[in-house]
Amino acid sequence: MLKHSLLCLGLLALPTTASAEPNPPTKKPAPQSRPAVSPGTLEAAISAPRVQIALLLDTSSSMDGLIEQTKRQLWTVVNAFQNARRDGQAAKLEIALYEYGNDGLSSEGGFIRQVMPLTTDLDRVSEQLFALKTNGGSEFCGQVIQKATQQLEWSKEKKDLKLIYIAGNEPFSQGPVAFKTALGAAKEHGIVVNTIHCGPPEVGANTGWAEAARVAGGQPFNIDQNRAVAMIAAPQDEEIAKLGVELNKTYLGYGRSGAEAKKRQVAQDANASTNAVSATTRAMSKASRLYDNSGWDLVDGTKQGKVKLETLKEEDLPEELRGKSVEERKAVLEAKEKERTELQARIQQLSAERQQYLAGKEKEQAAEGGNTLDKAILQSVQTQAKEQSFTLE
């Protein structure tokens, strides 16, 4: 019986209607309304270097520990890219998530599901991680790599950093798609595939995990998926976590998705708060440039030119801005941005102090040995980012 494996991280068809008239008049399509974008904003968004990471997670019955590690270490991984740059320009981070090897998924699709496409919406990634349930199953590594390669919107820029991480413990060769074929296609797209075998190194070497990483130009890792992640507490943790929650008050949701997104933000704070260090690392992420909520927050949205305050309908405004003049709305927005900037600056200061405190502790922990998911990702990223001319410090 197949058991475990792990971490591997639409098209809308528009119906057409035929005209009943023999020679229908030609009509020009109505112009599409677009949010106002300030000069340079769109150009910067297009040209910004990108770091794209797809996590392909095995959600078969034995992988509860792996999923738990991923939940707890998501924000640690995100924080590693706060200072990511190429040629002096700040990089954008996108994360995608797949689950595979779950008997609750369609057998016709290879027991594989795209949980999240590549996205900068980190709260959604966290939400979906916490919703994953293990069950089954049959783990087809080649097929899930093939799907991630074909389905995700990978950057066409050769210099961008494109990474897949797949983890599991069953033989890598299982399933209808030959893993060497899938890895070859990923390599043609400039995607580096790293393998994370959940179990002893000798088993990973004998079941294709190490070979797959070599073929893909990536790195092979072995972890104990059931090992509790060592979370080192620091004196700054409590204040950082508290300030992270305070940041929520500076967000003003707009449009249909605004209220829902604000609830999601609070819910992910709650998910992280079940572990004190996770709450801290999440707050650190929220204080960074990578925590981009321009799709639903007016402060981020107006700053990036994705939405114009003057053109929003009254019903699309948050309660705090309804019934106010444009000038009054701008004043509220400016106050929220100022408060957010101050909170983020304080968190960043505390984070720097925290890092100094942890430096010695982390050396002691490293000496104890034993890999976990976050360590595998961070170790490989250091090497592979440099090969693409990225700096992370």
Find the mean pLDDT for residues 119-131: 97
Q: What is the distance, to the nearest Å, from the Cα of residue 167 to the centroid of all Cα atoms in its chain?
A: 17
Would you state the structure tokens that stand for residue 36, as one six-digit string?
């106002």
Q: What value does the mean pLDDT of the chain take?
A: 87
Half-sphere exposure of 229 (CA within 13 A, CB side): 23
| Dihedral sign of CA atoms 212, 214, 219, 222 in order | positive
pLDDT classification of 364: cutoffs 50, 70, 90: low
Identify the residue whose tokens are 């900068």.
Answer: 120
Find the mean pLDDT for residues 4-21: 37
* Domain spans in the chain, listed from the N-terminal domain onward: 47-230+369-391, 237-367
Would you state the structure tokens that stand for residue 385, as one six-digit string?
């980012």
**Other beta carbons less than 10 A from residue 22's beta carbon:** 5
Task: List, for residues 256-314, the tens digit of each pLDDT value.
Answer: 899 999 999 999 999 999 988 999 999 999 999 999 999 999 999 999 999 999 999 99
Architecture of domain 47-230+369-391: 3-Layer(aba) Sandwich (3.40)
* Cis, bond preceding 137 (omega within 30 deg of 0): yes
pLDDT classification of 363: cutoffs 50, 70, 90: low
pLDDT reading at 134 higher than 90 = yes
66: three-class secondary structure by DSSP: helix
Question: Distance between CA atoms of 306 and 312, rounded to whole angstroms?
Answer: 12
**Angle CA(272)–CA(277)–CA(281) in degrees, nearest 5?**
70
pLDDT reading at 381 higher than 80 = yes
pTM for the predicted model, two decimal places: 0.85
pLDDT at residue 370, rounded to an integer:
65
57: three-class secondary structure by DSSP: strand
pLDDT at residue 7, rounded to an integer:
38
Identify the residue whose tokens are 């910004």.
Answer: 48
